[in-house]
Chain A
Amino acid sequence: MRKRLFRNLLNSPVTEPVVEGANEILETTGTELRGAISRTLGRSLAIREVDAGSCNGCELEIHALGNAFYDVERFGIRFVASPRHADALLVTGPVTHNMREALERTYAATPAPKWVIAVGDCSSGCGVFADSYACVGAVSKVIPVDLVVRGCPPTPLDLLQGLLWLLNRSATEVRHPVATGP
């Protein structure tokens, strides 16, 4: 283990810079949204993820945001375990009837000011499950949505760009871990 730790210290990190762009997958409810989170919260954003009935494809890619390549925490973005600790909800899935109440209660438990980001085609009501008896439909039918990141599922890069766009931050403003040695 020691050998590996030393080697990792000497090697350069695999973490990649993120450039802004490719925003056609994003859909917002208003331009004033952009940067609003940063102005209100400063440099940190705590996110609670809620699967409201997805196939878990979106979860896999949201999970990937934490790996060494994307390392979302370097941007001050953190996934938290409770809605009470969260500034924003990241919601996936076509919102099943069986999950509707849980989603509403999670939203109610999140302290204001709060934002909701709907992730994936299902969450905006255009996935393959849209016509089912068991689904309510888009997340916006249940709680107010501020940003939609489309894709089936969106790639981690899509997600990261969406989040940075929302924070009105580009990678150049964010200190890269390589450049922040003590």
Chain B
Amino acid sequence: MLKALFGDLPRVSSHRGWPRVVVEAATWRGIGEALREGKLDLLGEWGDQGAVHCALYELATQQAITASIDASTGKAPSLAVFHAPALRLERAIEDLFGIDMVGLPDHRPWLDHGRWPLRTPLAQAPSAVTRSAGQSERYHFLEAEGPSLHQIPVGPVHAGIIEPGHFRFTASGEMVVRLEERLGYTHKGIERLLYDKTIDEGARIVARVSGDSTVAYSFAYARALEAALGFHPPPRALGLRAIMAELERIANHLGDIGAICNDAAFSMMHAECGILREDTLRASAAAFGHRLMMDRIVPGGVATDLTPVGQEMLLALTKGLRRQFPELIELYDNTASLQDRTVGTGVVSAALAAEFAAPGYVGRASGRSFDARVSLPYTPYDTLPIEMAARTEGDVDARVWVRIQEIERSIAWLEATLAALPRGPIHSTIVATPDTTAEGSALVEGFRGDVFVYVRISPAGRLERCHLRDPSWFTWPLLESAIEGNIVADFPLCNKSFNCSYSGQDL
């Protein structure tokens, strides 16, 4: 399919790593049709000054490509008209760049709540807002009407210690008929902040896109930059990066498995998983100097070396997890009252998971076989492969089992990698002054799914454009579908089993 669509087109020479091509409207339409027919997966779609880009993946050939279309007239044809997963991405492009996505079925603002001091902040010339400050515009939720329906508005401030967002439930008695999400509350203007930053300044911001995935974001950013500049960090640094990524995965999965059980009122699992999560964070802090390992992956390598003592701490951690985690799995598996809540709840169909190219455990619990570590392997996963987790049921239980499998495999992988960790330097300085503009893209498997990063660096070594696409862009809409027909009381359970990022999506 990629060949048929882009066969003769010249690659953009400044883009390294996978190819980027500039296409005309006809080919862009062809992309939309291929997406609709399920021949391609959409990895991301983002705006630029005078252009719109999309990243595509073809499962059959395991290849990725970026396609760009001109938008210098202030208009670009919509992909969402063919392919629903592009909808929110294109609404965000309209908000941030003011590019009119022609044909877009839904023009409601997505990130712009009408509260910023300016409009289209990422466009070349953002426009000032004339209305008085603090006055917001009314948001029209999609309608669901019927004699016995009622609405339940939730948020943006939620009951737990979690991020803000608004959920509008329409329920018939106890059953959810429709859920509509409204996000954007934590929009921090990250992509505009990244304009014209040095690569090191950029790294600190990127590490704070989503705190629970700080390693994954820094990893993806560093890889995209290094691809752009044709730079290869030392082998030890690459090993250490992946070790941190697996620690982050284990810690988050442990926390979430406990929290899912807690939402089914089984607090014992929550307490036990909480202990293992804390053990993991403490070992991470001992090994790398920060509990979440923030700012530890930097362009050019890593910032902290693993000492022999740190290595011992990590091996002690994996040993402890090997001893204690199987008991918890057994506890989960043998508690009928817990299974009663998780089995058959919040089902995502295989068809929807495929259509939305559902990232991470959401996709892998619904039969989608994609894991960036396996499907588009990067060092060190190319030489030290990790097995992909897989389930097909698509319910809360399946998402728990995928996470359980991933923890087990990450533990084994960590042990093997620690034993084979090359010696040598952990960082070499990047010369960030390319002769011409340099671009690169990278896809890194975070705990929640693939994080996509695109960067373009000016000859002066500054970030011209850096786009960060959280996996949650594609899982949030699936949550709306998963909760349909379930009872309101099961929403926390479903929501936690997805654990989508607000901050990563809102940017």
Contacts and interface: CB of A to CB of B under 8 A. Distances in A.
A133 B194 CA distance: 12
A181 to B, nearest CB: 19
A1 B334 contact: yes
A99 B65 CA distance: 37
B115 A97 contact: yes
Q: How large is the interface on B (under 10, 10 to 19, 20 to 34, 35 or more residues)?
A: 35 or more
A17 interface: no
Contacts of A124: none
A51 B171 CA distance: 27
Contacts of B205: 128-129
Contacts of A93: 186
11 contacts: A49-B161, A55-B211, A58-B211, A67-B274, A68-B271, A69-B275, A98-B187, A99-B185, A128-B204, A129-B190, A133-B126
A79 B158 CA distance: 12
Given A59-B161, A135-B188, 11 more contacts: A14-B275, A52-B164, A53-B164, A59-B162, A60-B255, A63-B161, A64-B278, A68-B275, A98-B115, A100-B115, A106-B157
A25 to B, nearest CB: 15
Interface string A148-176: 00001101000000000000000000000
Given A98-B187, A133-B116, A155 B204 contact: no
B475 interface: no
B488 to A, nearest CB: 16
Contacts of B292: 57, 60, 153
Contacts of A60: 211-212, 255, 292
Contacts of A99: 156, 164, 185-186
B59 interface: no
B contact face: mostly helix, strand, loop, or mixed: loop
A68 B274 CA distance: 7
Nearest to B186: A53
A51 to B, nearest CB: 5
Interface in A1-34: 1, 4-5, 14
Interface string B253-279: 001000000000000100110110110
A96 interface: yes
Contact of A101 (B134, B189, B291): B134
Contacts of B214: 55, 57
Interface of B: 113, 115-118, 121, 126, 134, 136, 156-157, 159-164, 184-190, 192-193, 204-205, 208-212, 214, 255, 268, 271-272, 274-275, 277-278, 281, 291-292, 294, 327, 331, 334-335, 501-503, 506
Contact of B278 (A55, A69, A133, A135): A69
A121 B28 CA distance: 44
A94 interface: yes
A134 B211 contact: no
B67 to A, nearest CB: 29
A50 interface: yes
Interface in A91-117: 93-94, 96-102, 106
Q: How large is the interface on A (under 10, 10 to 19, 20 to 34, 35 or more residues)?
A: 35 or more
A81 interface: yes
B211 A129 contact: no
A129 B189 contact: yes
A118 B331 CA distance: 39
A45 interface: no
A106 B156 CA distance: 10
A4 to B, nearest CB: 7
A106 B275 CA distance: 32
Contacts of A51: 157, 162-164, 186
Contacts of B272: 4
A101 B503 CA distance: 18
Contact of B121 (A5, A14, A79, A134): A134
A96 B185 contact: yes
A132 B161 contact: no
A62 B212 CA distance: 13
Nearest to A79: B161
B502 A133 contact: no
A131 interface: yes
A133 B503 contact: no
Contacts of A131: 193
A81 B159 contact: yes
A125 B334 CA distance: 49
A50 B156 CA distance: 10
Given A67-B278, A101-B134, A132 B211 contact: no
Contact of B187 (A57, A66, A96, A152): A96
A56 interface: yes
Contact of B208 (A5, A59, A83, A128): A128
A123 interface: no
B275 A62 contact: no
A129 B210 contact: no
Given A1-B331, A133-B189, A81 B160 contact: yes
A61 interface: yes
A127 interface: yes
Among A94, A129, A133, find the residue whose CB has the most chain B CB atoms closer than 10 A: A133
Given A82-B159, A135-B188, A98 B113 contact: yes
Contact of A4 (B187, B294, B327): B327
A134 B114 CA distance: 11
Contact of A57 (B161, B255, B294, B331): B294
A54 B117 CA distance: 20
A161 to B, nearest CB: 16
A3 B35 CA distance: 53
Interface in A62-95: 62-64, 66-69, 79, 81-83, 93-94
